[in-house]
Amino acid sequence: MISADGVQLGIMSPEEALEKAQGLDLDLVEVAPLAKPPVCRIMDYGKYRYEQSKKAREAKKKQTVIQIKEIKLRPKTDEHDFQFKARHVDRFLRSGHKAKVTMMFRGREMVHTELGKRLLDRLADSLKEVAQLEQTPRLEGRNMIMILAPRPDLKVGEGKGVQETVKE
C-alpha cells in the first residue's frame, strides 16, 4: 500500500486500504496487480487520467509525420526530364520526406532492366549530398523500386536544390 504522497504504508487488507482511501476522499488504485502481494496506491484517479491525457496531447504535438513521396521514371526518360524529376526528389528530401523512385518498364524494355538500374543509380549518385539509400533498386514485377531517405545530418528546409548532376 502506498499513500497519496508516495510513502509506503505497508501490507494491509483490501478493506482496510479502501477505508483509508475513502477517509481521505480519494481512490484506491491497483498499480501492480501481478506483484506478490499486489501493490495499491491512494490517489485522485480522475486527476491522474487528466494529466496522462495532457501528456499524450503534448507528445502528439511534438511528433513529426514522415511521408513517402513517389516519383516515376521510364528507362527512356530524357535528360531535361531527369533533371526536373531529380529537383523534385531533392525538394522532397530537403523538406524531410522520404522519396520512392519507381522505374516503370513496358513491353520489350523488360529485357534491358540494367538501363533502368543505371538511371536509378545515377539519380542516387546525383543526390548523395542530401539523400541516403534506404532501399537499393529492386525489381518487383514490371517496376524497379528504390527508396531514398534524407541524410540524418541534413537540416530540414536547407539549401536550394540540385544544381549539378553527374553526366554519363
* 106 SS3 class: coil
**How far, in Å, CA of 130 to CA of 152, rounded?**
9
Helix (H) or strand (E) holding 32: strand 27-32
Statement to judge: residues 106 and 135 lie in one domain: yes
For residue 110, what is its C-alpha cell?
523488360
Residue owning grid cell 483490501 = 14
Distance (Å, rounded) from C-alpha 27 to C-alpha 153?
49
- Whether 140 and 97 map to the same domain: the answer is yes
Q: Is residue 166 included in any domain, yes or no?
A: no
Same domain, 53 and 75: no
Rounded to the nearest integer, the mean pLDDT of the chain is 86
- The share of the chain scoring above pLDDT 90, in percent, equals 41
Identify the DSSP state of 149.
E
For residues 86 and 132, state if they share a domain.
Answer: yes
Same domain, 22 and 46: yes
For residue 105 the three cell numbers come to 518498364
Q: Flag whether 2 is in a domain.
A: no
CA angle 119/163/120 to nearest 5° reads: 10
The predicted-structure confidence for 74-124, as pLDDT tens digits, reads as follows: 999 899 999 999 999 999 998 889 999 999 999 999 998 999 999 999 999
Whether residue 63 is predicted with pLDDT greater than 60 in this model: the reply is yes
Q: Where in the sequence is the domain holding 144, given as residue range(s)?
A: 68-150
Mean pLDDT confidence for 49-54: 93
CA angle 123, 118, 147 (to 5 degrees): 50
- Position 51 in a domain: yes
* CA proximity to 6, closest of 47, 46, 39, 51: 39
**Rg of the chain over all Cα atoms, to the nearest angstrom:** 29
Please indicate, yes or no, whether residues 56 and 77 belong to a single structural domain of this protein. no
Which pLDDT belongs to residue 158? Answer: 56
Q: Is there a single domain that holds both residue 46 and residue 86?
A: no
Hey, what's the cell of 84? 526536373
Tally of domains within the chain: 2
Q: Kindly give the residue spans of alpha helices, DSSP state H, lying in 40-153.
A: 45-62, 79-94, 113-126
| Contact yes or no for 99/93 (Cβ under 8 A) | yes
State the pLDDT at residue 166: 43
